[in-house]
Amino acid sequence: MKRTILAPGHELLSYRIHEVTPYINWIYFFHAWGFQPRFAAIANIHGCDSCRALWLTTFPEEERSKASEAMQLFKEANRMLDQLDETISIRCIFRLCRANADGDNLLIEGRTFPLLRQQAPQPDGSPFLCLSDFVRPLSLGTPDIVGLFASTISEEAEETYKSDPYKHLLVQTLNDRLAEAATEKMHEYVRKEAWGYAPDESLSIPDLLVEKYQGIRPAVGYPSLPDQSVNFLLDDLLDMGQTGITLTENGAMHPHSSVCGMMLAHPASRYFAVGKIGEDQLDDYARRRGMPIENMRKFLAGNIESAS
């Protein structure tokens, strides 16, 4: 890992592919190729050909051809990772910010970061959640910390093998996983060292991939943070350009294999879905975001409740 300190609590990290490969969640890679999660178990089979042959026998006869395809795809993916490791890097940037919650807003380094709260009653009667619930309220008079992050693959990786459709697709699906894997490794470093709220954490990578650590890392586009326009707020605070990320006028990130969001440390923090919102919340959110309601409607089209 190459580490550049931009300011206290604001760091730029650069990883080689072999450093983050152990953090790849292969389930999502195989899903992108149309395989059910059970076929991703090939990633856990190490060693001789006889071990792989034994793995094949765990499938019903009618599924062994598909399992063989998964095995071959995994071999080709690892071969490609070895090739890309010579030239491609993954960059992450994070910033640990002073922050407080003010209702459904976060105040991050003096800037207002509006959020959305669940509106639909939960089957178990649990409270209507907002990410701001997991940050110390402004009324307590003591600042909390919120982590912001962005990760991306080198832009040249997206241009690799453009003349070979199969290899290009293989690289693209690997790029997506590498950006996520680097984020996982970065988050581990933040929890244990940079932020240091979990210095004694000792989790296996499988445990990390099922999020057994303290805190959450909601990315933009997640059900709890669905508004892509907040990428502009994150960029203002992070300076994503230092990783090579640029934003389109609609807030989409380039390179495509990029991810950004926030890190929260509260022990009770958890993921949730904002779900559908009504016109009243859309109006309130647009006002807090300082954007015309029709612009906001485009960003939240998937969350707006249809008029009955």
CATH code assigned at 17: 3.40.109
Q: For the beta carbon of residue 8, count every other beta carbon within 10 angstroms.
A: 8
Is the pLDDT reported for residue 226 higher than 80?
Answer: yes
Is the same domain home to 165 and 40? Answer: yes
55 assigned to some structural domain? yes
Q: Is-cis flag, bond preceding 143, omega within 30?
A: no
41 and 163 together in one domain: yes
Same-domain pairing of 194 and 287: no
- 259 lies in the same domain as 301: no
Tell whether 172 and 284 lie within a shared domain: no
Token duo for residue 75: 């071999």
Q: Is the Cα torsion angle 258, 263, 268, 274 positive or negative in sign?
A: negative
Establish if 235 belongs to a structural domain.
yes
Q: Is the pLDDT of residue 289 over 90?
A: yes
Take residue 93 and report the two structure tokens written for it. 């940037």
Q: Is 105 inside any structural domain? A: no
301 and 189 belong to one structural domain: no
- On whether both 219 and 292 belong to a single domain, the answer is no
* Percentage of the chain modeled with pLDDT above 90: 89
Please indicate, yes or no, whether residues 151 and 28 belong to a single structural domain of this protein. Answer: yes
DSSP one-letter code for 191 = I
In a domain, 223, yes or no: yes
> Helices (DSSP H) in the chain: which residue ranges?
17-20, 26-32, 49-56, 64-84, 165-189, 205-209, 230-238, 279-289, 293-299
Contact 282, 297 (CB under 8 A): yes
Question: Alpha carbon of 237 to those of 98, 134, 281, 285: distances in Å?
Answer: 11, 20, 26, 20
Tally of structural domains, the chain: 2
Query: Would you state the pLDDT for residue 278?
Result: 93
149 with 91: CB under 8 angstroms? Answer: no
Residues 285, 225 share a domain: no
Q: 47: pLDDT confidence band, cut at 50, 70 and 90?
A: low
For residue 66, being part of any structural domain is answered with yes
Domain ranges, residue 88: 2-92+145-263
Instruction: For residues 293 and 189, state if they share a domain.
Output: no
pLDDT tens digit string along 251-275? 999 999 999 999 999 999 999 999 9
302 and 178 inside one domain = no
The answer to the question of residue 85 being in a domain is: yes
Residue 178 lies inside a defined structural domain of this protein: yes
pTM of the predicted model as reported, rounded to 2 decimal places:
0.94
- Give residue-wise pLDDT tens across range 131-173: 999 999 999 999 999 999 999 998 888 888 989 999 999 999 9
Specify whether 202 is located in the same domain as 150: yes
Q: Considering the domain boundaries, does residue 269 fall inside one?
A: no
For residue range 81-97, what is the model confidence (pLDDT) as tens digits?
A: 999 998 899 999 999 99
pLDDT at 126: 85
For residues 144 and 161, give the distance between their C-alpha atoms in angstroms, rounded to a whole number.
46
Handedness of CA 275, 277, 282, 284 (dihedral sign): negative
